Structure 1
Amino acid sequence: MKTNKQLKRGHTMRQYLLSGLAVSAMAFSISSSMAFAQTSNGADNDPRDEIVVTGTNIRGTEIVGGSVLQIGQAELLESGRSTAADFLRELPSNFAGGVGMADEPQNGQDFGAATANLSGGQGVNLRGLGALSTLVLVNGRRQANSGQFGDFVDISVLPMAAIDRVEILQDGASAIYGSDAVGGVVNFILKRQMDTAVTSFRVGLATEGGGTEFIGSHVQGFNWDSGHAIVGAEYQHRDNVESTDRDRYANGSDFSAFGGVNWPEYALHAAPTANIFFGSGGSLAAPVGASVPVGTNANLTGADLILQTGGTGNTFNVFEGRDILPETERYSVFGSFDQELSEGITLFGDALFTRRESLYEIGYPVVALGSLHASSPFYITGIDPALTTPPGRGDPGGNIAFGKVVTDRIETRETMVDHYSGQIGARIDLFSDWRLELTASYAQDKQARNSKLFRNGFSDVSSPIGCALGHANANDCTGTNMIAWNPFSTDPLSQAQLDQYFGYENLAYNSKTTQFSAKADGTLFALPSGDVKVAVGIDLRNEFIDGVVDVNTISVDGLTGPYEATERDAVSVFGEMLVPVIADILEFSAAGRYEKFTGSGEYDTFDPKFGMNFKPMSGLKFYSSWGTSFHAPAMRFENDAPQPLPGGNAAFTLTASRFAPCNTTLITVNPIVQAGPNCSFTLMINSGGAGPGVLKPERAETFTLGFNAAPESIPGLKFGASYFNITVDDKIQRVQSELLDQILTDFFASGGTDTFGGALLVNPTEAEAQALMDNPKYLGTFGPGIFNAAANVQMIVNATQLNIATLKEQGFDFNFSYDFESGGTDLGVFTNGTYLTEYKIQAAPGKDFRDLLGKFTAVGSPVALRARSGIRAKRGAFDGRITYNYVDSYECDLCYVPGTGGVPVISATPVKIDAWNTFDLDIGWDMSSIGRFGEGARLNFQIVNLFNAEAPFLDSGSGIDDSLPGAYDPTNHTIIGRTVALQVTKTW
C-alpha cells in the first residue's frame, strides 16, 4: 500500500550519478578556466590579529575564562554524518530534547512536522536548557527563528560544503551576545577564502531499508591582489525511511516482543474492517462488542455482526504507511567576498540561499472516535442497544460508535522552507591598532506546510465526515452535498468520495531578523605586563513573524485567515576589557551588555561576565569565569490571538481520550470508558501562546572552572576538563500537547505535586471552564458529546508555556587526545564527553527540587554521561578512524509495563533504559597516486552505527490514549540503524 513518492521528480540512483558526472565535468571546466585568475600571493593578509574567536569581541585574543571547542571541516567529513545538524546531534553536550533529527514517527511538536515545528527543522540544545537557550550564529550574526512559535534556529538549512568550522562555547555569554546565550553559543563560520576549487559527491543508504541519499557540491575560490571570494552550491536528496522497515514497528504497537505492552489489546481498536464499540465508545481504549463482515455491507442488520469477546476486535499496524524520516530535497547556493577598497578600509559580505522540501507520509487515517447517526442510510437495523450510544446533551443517543482505518489514501504533509541570509560590512582602521567594524545582516525563513488529511473534525459539531455519517445537526450540513459514507464497507471509496473526504490544511509562516552593529576595538593603554584592550559597541535588532492558515479538514466551511503578526525591537550596548596582570601568566577580562526589548515583549536586562586565565607554565592554562545570562521569551509566546487549529492558539474539550486511575481522589472520573485500572475524565486543553505579559525572561547565573594542558615534553598530547554550574530562574517550559500523556501520569502518580502542576488547573469552577468555552478560540469537543458541559470539566491544561521556578545543573566537560608516530604510521587516540552530577527542577518557590538527572520525562531530561572516543591512524595514502559513542543508561519512573494478563500498568519500580553503545567507521584514501584525475582526490568509506545497535526499548505508555505509542526515546537515541556512505572529494 506504500506509494512511490519522489517529490514529483522520480529520482533514481542512475539519475544521481549522471547528475554527478555532469557537475564534475562542469566543475573541472570552471576550475581550469578560472585558474588564471587565481594568484598564489593574492589575499595573503590573514594575520591573527584580525580573527575574533567566539566568546569575545576583541580581535587577536583568546577567550578569557573559558574554552572554545573548534570543529573543522575535516572532522565533519570524517564523522560519517551528511549534515552539520546530524553531526551536532552526536556532540555530548548537545541534548536532542527540544529540536532534534526528525526520526520520530509520532512527529511530535519539537521533532517532526506535525505541529509547531511545521517545516521539520533541526536545532541545537546545549546543556539540555532548551533550543532557544542556545544562541546559534552564522559568521557571528543572528539568524531568523523557525517553527510556528519561532522558538529555535533551524540549522538544517546550512550546507556542509559552505562550513569552514564550527565554534562552540559551552558557557553563558549574554554579556557578549545578549539574549539566548544561556546554555552556550554555536557559531558556524562559513568559508571565506580558497586557493582552489573543491567538488564533492556522497552516496549513502540505511542498511535496514530506505534513506538512500545523494549529496553533490562544488565550491570555487577566487583570489586577486586586493581581495578574495568564494561561490558554491550544494544539492541533497534523501529518500524516506518507513516505520515498518524497522523491527521496532514491524508488528505495529504490539511491543510484547521487546518486553512491552501489546497495545492493540488495550488501546486502539480500529481497523480497515470496522469495530463497533459497546456503549458510548469513542476512545482508543473503548471495548469492542462486535465487528463487521468483509464486503459492501450496504444493508447490515444486527444479525450480520460478528460478536467479539475480549474487547479487542480487528487490529491494524498503525505504523503502516508512516515515515520515520521524510523524503527530503535541498538546494543551497552561497558566496562570500572580502575587498580592500583602500588602505585601511575593507568591504566584506556573504550570502546564503537554501530551499529544503520534504514529503512526509503520515499513515492511513484512523477514525478512532467515529459515530454513525441514525439518519444515515447505512445505519444497522436491529442492532443491539448495548452497541449504541446513550443520550446526552441534546443528543437522543442510539448512534453507533466505531473504529475504522481508511486505507484508500495515505495522509501526507509537504513541507518547505526558503532560507535567505547575508551580511554586508566594512572594517575601517582608525588609529594605532583601533578598528571600527560596521555590519548589517538579514535572515529570513519562509516556511510552509501543506497537508492532505481526512476531513474528520469534532464529534459534537458538524465536520465534513460528520455530515457524511448522518450528523444530527442538519443545518450545518445543508447544502454540502456530502456523499453518505458507509464505514462498515470494506470496498474502496469512489473517486468522488475521496475528493470530498480528504481535504487540506495549509500553513505558511514568515520569520525575519534584521541586525545592525557597530563595534570598535583596540588598545586602551599599555601596562608593563602588556596592552589593555577593549571593545565597545551598539547593536540594533528587529524580529518579525507572521503567518496564514487555509484549512478545510476540521469544519464544513473552510477557514482562511492570517496569524496575527508579532514584532519587536532590541537595542543593546556592550563593552569588554582585557587586562594582562602578569605578562603571559595572568590576565583578567570583564564584559557587560545592556539590552532592551520593545514591542511583542517588554524586557530589559544588564548582564556582566568576568573571566580569568592563569598560565603558570608553558602548555598549562587554568581558567575560570562567572556571569549572568538571560533568555527573552519567544515573541510568539506573547500572542494568544485565536488560531483555528488544535496546534495553534485554540481550546477544546476531551471527554474520553485522557485517563486517570479510577480510584483517584484528585479529580472525578466520568463513566464513558474504563480501561483496566484507568478511567476517562473530562478536561479542556488551552493551547498556543501564553499571552502578553504572562511570561518572564529566563535569568541564569553560570560559573566555570577548568584547565587545558599540552605538555611540551610530550608532543601531541592534549587534555583538559572543566566544571560548570548553572542556575536558571524562571525557566521557560513549553507544555507540549503530545507529551500530555506522561505529564498526566506524573501528576496522578505524584499525588498532584509533579513539576508541571502549575500548568494544570485542577477542579476548575464552572465559571472558569465556561469562560474558556466562550472564548473565540474554543473549537469544540473531541470525543463523545456527553459529559462535556462546563460543570463536567475536571481539569484545564494550559498547554502553552510557563515559568517554572528554578533549574539547577552542574557537571564536567572533559577531553583528551594524543597524536604520535609509530613505525611510519601516524596514530591518535581521543575522547571527549560531558558528565552531569546534577539536573533538578523546582516547580514553584518553596517546593522541593525534583531530581531529573538520568530520568525519562515528558519534556526530556539529560542522561548523566555522554561521550565520544576513538582511535585514528594514517599511513601513506590511507587513513582511518573508529569512533565509539556512548549514551548512559537511565530510568523511567512512571513507565507502563505488562501487568497480570498483559494489562498495562505503571511500573512499581523504575524501569532501566539500557546504555547505548555505537561505533562509527571512516576509511580514507588519498588517490593522488593513480593519475591526473586522482590528483587532489580523496575517497572516504563510512559506516555509522557499525554493528547496527538498536535503540534501547522504552514503552512510554502513551499507547493508553495515543494511536502511535512511543517505543524508544528520540531525545537520546535514533532508530535509523546502520548507514553506509561513499564520498569522493576532488580538489582541482
Structure 2
Amino acid sequence: MRYPGYRGALAASVAICGVAAATPAAAQTRSFNVPAQAAATAIPELARQADVQILVSESAARDKRTNAVKGRLTADQAVRRLIAGTGLRIASSDGRTYTLANAAAQAAPGKDGQAAAHEGDAADGQQIAEIVVTGTNIRGSAPAGSPLIRYDAEEMRRTGAGSVDDFLRKVPQNFSVLDTSTYIGGIASGTMAAANFTRGAAVSLRGLGPEGTLALINGQRLAPAGLQSAYADISVIPMTAVERIEILGDGASAIYGSDAIGGVVNFILQQKLNGGITSLRYGAATRGGGEEIRASQAVGVTDDRGRLMIAYEFFDQNHIEASQRGFVTQRQGRRVDLTPDRQRHSILVSSAYHLTPTTEVSFDGLYSRRTYRQIYYSQSLPEQVDDSGQAATTQASLGVAQQLGDWRARLNGTYSGSTVRRLMVQPSFTTPTNGFIRYKYLDFAVDGPLATLPGGPLLLSIGTSYRKEEYRPTDGRTIGMTLARKVESAFAELRVPVIGPENELPFARSINLSAALRHDRYSGIGNTTNPKLGVEWNVNDWLRLRGSYARSFRAPLLFNLSPALQSAFTYDFADPASPTGFTNTLVDSSSYNPDLRPERSRSFTLGFDVQPAGRYGPRLSVTYFDVDFRDRITTPPLRASLFLAYSQLDSLRSFMNFAPSQADLASYFASPFFVDIAGRGPGDVKVIFDFRPQNLKSQVSRGLDIEGSYAMPLGRGTLTADANINYMLDLKVQATPDMAVTSLLDQLGGPLSFRARGGLTWSNDDVVASLKLNHARGYRNITIVPNEQVSAYTTADLHLSWKIAETTVSLDVDNLFDRKPPVVHTNIPGAYNLGFDAVNASARGRYVALGLTHRW
C-alpha cells in the first residue's frame, strides 16, 4: 500500500470538499453547467452549484475524469450523472452531504454501504477528515430543525468589516451591548458593559446577554474574559484565519453544556490554505480621531498527510475625544475619550497531521495581547481618571481522531485562559486590579452509524467530558483567592433519517429527526440534565419546514461566588416622593452573591426556508423563537439608569429595604469595600438597595428572524438584493411573583424591537460593489419627564473592491452620509450626559477604510 508523502501539493485528506449553505438541496431542481474535466475540479464546482457538501478522498478522485453535467436536475441526479462510469459511487447521502468512494469497495456481509466506504478509503491510504458543524456532535451533519446561519470569509469581507467583531456588530441578531464604544468616560452604557474594563468585544444574540451566548473556536470553548469573566472576547481572533462563522440561534446546552442559552457562535478556521494571504487596512473617521491600522499575514500548507496554517494580526486604534464631536454633551474643558487607544497582537495556529492512514492528530492554538488607555473624569469625584491596562488570551487544543471501521473516536484536550491587568490613576488614589480565568477540559466521543434505515443511516454520537474552571481576582484592597469548580458530563445524540432519497414521498422528499441529551454535574452546585429535539421536513424541491425544542441552563459565574468582589456606596438618589426630592440610599453593588442558583431556560423555534430552483431567484428564511427563562441570573430589572430607581418602584421595590437596621448599616460602613459618597454617615441612610446579581423569577424573549434575497443576472455579473431582520416581539422580565412585569425593549441602552440590514450588491469574478442600509427603530426615552421620542437611526455602508490578478483593492465607507446619532437628552445625576445612546448608535460618524489583500 502506497501512502503519499508530505509534498505540499494541492490536496488534503479531504481533497475535495464542496461546502455551501445549509439549505436542503438534494431534491431541488437547479440549472447545472459543469464541463467534463478532472474530478478534483469538477466535484467542488458541482457542489457549489448544487448547494451541497461532497466528500471524497484525494486518492479516490486521483486521475479520474468526470462527465459533463448540464441542464435542470436535482442535486442527486447531478451527482449520479457526474460520476457515472468513473469508478466512483455514492457511499452515503443524507440529502445535504454526499460521501463518494471507489466503486470497488463493496459492502461486506452484514455491513451497510457507509461502513464499506470507510474501509475502502482507509485501505486506499486516506482518512475522511471531520467537517466541523455547529450544534451537533455528529460528523458531516447539520443539526436537524435548528436555525443555523453561515457567513463565509467572502461574505464577511463584502460587509466592509476589518475584523470579526466589526462584522458581527453589523448582524441584526447580535445586540452589541459590549464593545469598545460602550464604556465611555467610565460609565457603562448597558447592563453588561460594566464587565468590559479592558475594552474587548462580545456577542449577545437577541439581546439575551454575552454571558448567555457561547463562543467557540473550531468547536472548542473560548474562556471568558474581563475582570468579571463574563464574556468571551471575540476581538482577539484574526479575521484572515477564519474560513466561516456559524451562528446557532437556539439553546444548545444538550450539546455544549452551560452558557449556550441564547445561542452559539462558532469560528471555523481555515482548513485548506495553501500559500499565503497578506492584508493591510487603514481607516479613519472623517470627523477626526479613531484612526485604525490593521495588518495581518496568514500562511498555510496542505498536502496528502496534513495541513498547517499560521495567522498573525496587528491592530492599532487611536481614541476619539468628545471635543471632536460637536453633538456630544461634555464637561467644559475636561477630556472625555469616547473610545480608547488600543493596540493588539494576535497569533493563531491551526494544524492537523495523519500519523497513519486512520489516525489524525490536530492542534489549534491562539495567543493575543491587548493594551488600552482611556482618559475621562470620575463621576463621584471631580478628578481626571487615567484608565489603562492589558488583557491576554491563551488557548491551546490538542486532539486525536481514530477511525475504527465506520466509526470514529476522538479525544480532545483544551487549555483556555484569560489574564487581566488594570490600573486606574486619579489624584486622590490609584487602584490596581488584576485577575485571571482559566479553563481546562477534556472531551471524548465516538460517533458512527448504528444501522441503515429506509431513509438512510441512523447515526449516533456518545461521549463524556471533564472541565475545571478557575478564577482569581486581586486588587489593591484584597488578597487574591482562587475559586475553582469541576464539571463532569455525559452526552448522547441521535440523528434519525425517517425519509430520504431512497424512500421519498410526494410531499416529503426527506424528514430527519434529531435528539440529544446531556447530563452535567457541577461541584458545589448540583446536577442538571438537558434534552434537545429537532425535526426537519423537506416538503418538496423548494420548501423546508423545521422546528426545535431545547432545555438549557447556565451556572453562576465564578466571579459571582468570590467574597473578595464586594462593593457598596451611598448616594443621594432623586426621589419624587421625598420632601427634599432626594433620598440617601446605600447601594450594594457587589458582584458577589453566594445564594445564586443556576438559571434555566426552555427554547422553542419554528421556521421555514423557501429556495426555488436555479442559481437566480428568491430565497427566504423565517424563524420564530421563544425563550422562557426561570431563575434568570441578572441584576434587578432596571430601565435606563440606576439613578432612576425611585421612578421604577413597581419593579424594584422587592430589592429595597426601607427600614434598614443600624447593625446592617454599621457592617457596610466598616467594610473596606464601601465608599460613603453622600458623606453623612450611617445615621442618614434611609434605604438599602440590593443591586447584586439575583435569581429573577422569569424572563421571556420572543421574536422573528427574517432573511431574504433575490439574485438576477445583470451585465457581466449578478445583482443581489438582500435583507436581514431581527424583530423582537417581547423581552420582558418579572423579578419576583409580587412584582410587575417589566419590558426591557426599546429603552435607553437596551435592546431594540426592530433592527435590520439590507441592500444591493453587484459582483462578478473581479469586481464587487455593495450598498447596505442599517436601521434601528426609534423609542421613548424615559429618563426625562416628560418622556421624549428618540428618532430611528439609519446609516448606509459602501463597499467597493477590485481584484487584479491575486491582489484585491477595497474601499469601505461606513455611515456614508455621516449621520449623527439621534439626540438623547438625559438628566441623570452622577452620569455623563453624552447626548446620544452609545449602545444603539455610534459617535464615530463617517469612517473610510482602504484595504489591500494579496494572495500568493
Please report the TM-score for the alignment, with normalisation by the length of structure 1: 0.71
The corresponding residue for 2:844 is 976
SS in 2 for 1:753: helix
Is this contact kept in 2: 1:640–1:688, CA < 8 A? no
Quick one: which amino acid aligns to residue 408 of structure 2?
A: R
The corresponding residue for 2:783 is 895
Is this contact kept in 2: 1:512–1:544, CA < 8 A? yes
Equivalent residue for 2:541, pick from 618, 636, 640:
618
Distance across 2 between alignment mates of 1:563 and 1:759: 30
Quick one: which amino acid aligns to residue 420 of structure 1?
A: T
Equivalent residue for 1:710, pick from 602, 611, 633:
611
The corresponding residue for 2:769 is 880
C-alpha distance 594-113 of structure 1, shift in aligned 2 (>3 A) = closer
Whether 1:217 aligns to 2:296 is yes
Q: Deviations over 1:765-806 (max 9, x none)?
A: 3333234334x445352233x3x22x4321112232111111
Is this contact kept in 2: 1:118–1:447, CA < 8 A? no
Distance across 2 between alignment mates of 1:115 and 1:702: 28
SS in 2 for 1:617: coil
Alignment of 1:265-304 (within 5 A): none
> Displacement of 1:696 after TM fit?
1.5
SS in 2 for 1:838: strand
> Displacement of 1:714 after TM fit?
6.7
Whether 1:812 aligns to 2:701 is no
The corresponding residue for 1:425 is 399
Which ranges of structure 1 fall in alignment gaps of 5 or more residues? 1-35, 254-315, 369-404, 456-502, 551-558, 642-647, 897-905, 929-935
Equivalent residue for 2:340, pick from 326, 336, 340:
326
Distance across 2 between alignment mates of 1:876 and 1:149: 46
SS in 1 for 2:621: strand
The corresponding residue for 2:216 is 137
Whether 1:590 aligns to 2:590 is no
C-alpha distance 849-114 of structure 1, shift in aligned 2 (>3 A) = closer
After TM superposition, the structure 1 stretch with the greater mean CA deviation from structure 2, 37-46 or 794-803, is 37-46
C-alpha distance 52-160 of structure 1, shift in aligned 2 (>3 A) = closer
Distance across 1 between alignment mates of 2:237 and 2:653: 39
SS in 1 for 2:586: strand
The corresponding residue for 2:826 is 956
The corresponding residue for 1:67 is 147
The corresponding residue for 2:587 is 685
Is this contact kept in 2: 1:103–1:974, CA < 8 A? no
The corresponding residue for 1:11 is none
Distance across 2 between alignment mates of 1:770 and 1:567: 32
Is this contact kept in 1: 2:825–2:836, CA < 8 A? yes
Whether 1:450 aligns to 2:423 is yes
Whether 1:727 aligns to 2:628 is yes
Is this contact kept in 1: 2:496–2:514, CA < 8 A? yes
Equivalent residue for 2:653, pick from 757, 760, 782:
757
Alignment of 1:329-478 (within 5 A): 329-363=343-377, 411-431=385-405, 433-455=406-428
Is this contact kept in 1: 2:285–2:844, CA < 8 A? yes
C-alpha distance 961-510 of structure 1, shift in aligned 2 (>3 A) = closer
Equivalent residue for 1:579, pick from 493, 496, 502:
496
Whether 1:843 aligns to 2:698 is no
SS in 2 for 1:971: coil
- Identity percentage of aligned residues: 28
Is this contact kept in 2: 1:103–1:976, CA < 8 A? no
Whether 1:252 aligns to 2:330 is yes
Distance across 2 between alignment mates of 1:105 and 1:112: 13
Equivalent residue for 2:797, pick from 899, 912, 920:
920
SS in 2 for 1:630: strand
Quick one: which amino acid aligns to residue 250 of structure 2?
A: D
Structure showing greater relative contact order (alpha-carbon pairs closer than 8 Å, 6 or more residues apart): 1
Distance across 2 between alignment mates of 1:451 and 1:961: 19
Alignment of 1:765-844 (within 5 A): 765-774=661-670, 776-784=671-679, 786=680, 788-789=681-682, 791-844=683-736
Is this contact kept in 2: 1:826–1:874, CA < 8 A? yes
The corresponding residue for 1:565 is 482
Quick one: which amino acid aligns to residue 952 of structure 1?
A: P
Alignment of 1:577-656 (within 5 A): 577-584=494-501, 585-599=510-524, 602-641=525-564, 648-654=565-571
* Greater percentage in strand: 2
Quick one: which amino acid aligns to residue 690 of structure 1?
A: Y
C-alpha distance 110-178 of structure 1, shift in aligned 2 (>3 A) = farther
Alignment of 1:481-630 (within 5 A): 503-550=429-476, 559=477, 561-584=478-501, 585-599=510-524, 602-630=525-553
Quick one: which amino acid aligns to residue 452 of structure 1?
A: V
Which ranges of structure 2 fall in alignment gaps of 5 or more residues? 1-5, 18-54, 56-96, 100-129, 502-509
SS in 2 for 1:773: helix
Distance across 1 between alignment mates of 2:636 and 2:445: 40
SS in 1 for 2:479: strand
Is this contact kept in 1: 2:518–2:529, CA < 8 A? yes
Distance across 1 between alignment mates of 2:411 and 2:765: 47
Distance across 2 between alignment mates of 1:846 and 1:124: 33
SS in 2 for 1:87: helix
C-alpha distance 111-352 of structure 1, shift in aligned 2 (>3 A) = farther
Quick one: which amino acid aligns to residue 712 of structure 1?
A: A
The corresponding residue for 2:264 is 185
The corresponding residue for 2:118 is none
C-alpha distance 43-610 of structure 1, shift in aligned 2 (>3 A) = closer
Q: Deviations over 1:86-108 (max 9, x none)?
A: 221221111123x2333542333
Distance across 1 between alignment mates of 2:199 and 2:417: 16
SS in 2 for 1:695: coil
> Displacement of 1:861 after TM fit?
3.3
SS in 2 for 1:66: coil
Distance across 2 between alignment mates of 1:218 and 1:717: 37
Quick one: which amino acid aligns to residue 920 of structure 1?
A: D
Quick one: which amino acid aligns to residue 575 of structure 1?
A: A
SS in 1 for 2:816: coil
Distance across 2 between alignment mates of 1:733 and 1:343: 51
The corresponding residue for 2:109 is none
Quick one: which amino acid aligns to residue 589 of structure 1?
A: S
Is this contact kept in 2: 1:102–1:112, CA < 8 A? no
> Displacement of 1:833 after TM fit?
1.1
Distance across 1 between alignment mates of 2:379 and 2:607: 55
Aligned residues: 733
C-alpha distance 867-546 of structure 1, shift in aligned 2 (>3 A) = same
Distance across 2 between alignment mates of 1:106 and 1:342: 57
> Displacement of 1:74 after TM fit?
1.4
Q: Deviations over 1:128-167 (max 9, x none)?
A: 1111111111111112211222111111211212211111
> Displacement of 1:113 after TM fit?
12
Quick one: which amino acid aligns to residue 575 of structure 2?
A: A
SS in 2 for 1:976: coil
Please report the TM-score for the alignment, with normalisation by the length of structure 2: 0.82
Larger Rg: 1
Distance across 1 between alignment mates of 2:228 and 2:526: 19
SS in 1 for 2:389: strand
Q: Deviations over 1:277-323 (max 9, x none)?
A: xxxxxxxxxxxxxxxxxxxxxxxxxxxxxxxxxxxxxxx34xx3221
The corresponding residue for 2:641 is 742
C-alpha distance 878-854 of structure 1, shift in aligned 2 (>3 A) = same
C-alpha distance 813-115 of structure 1, shift in aligned 2 (>3 A) = closer
SS in 2 for 1:768: helix
The corresponding residue for 2:280 is 201
Distance across 2 between alignment mates of 1:812 and 1:562: 48
C-alpha distance 578-869 of structure 1, shift in aligned 2 (>3 A) = same
Quick one: which amino acid aligns to residue 927 of structure 1?
A: I
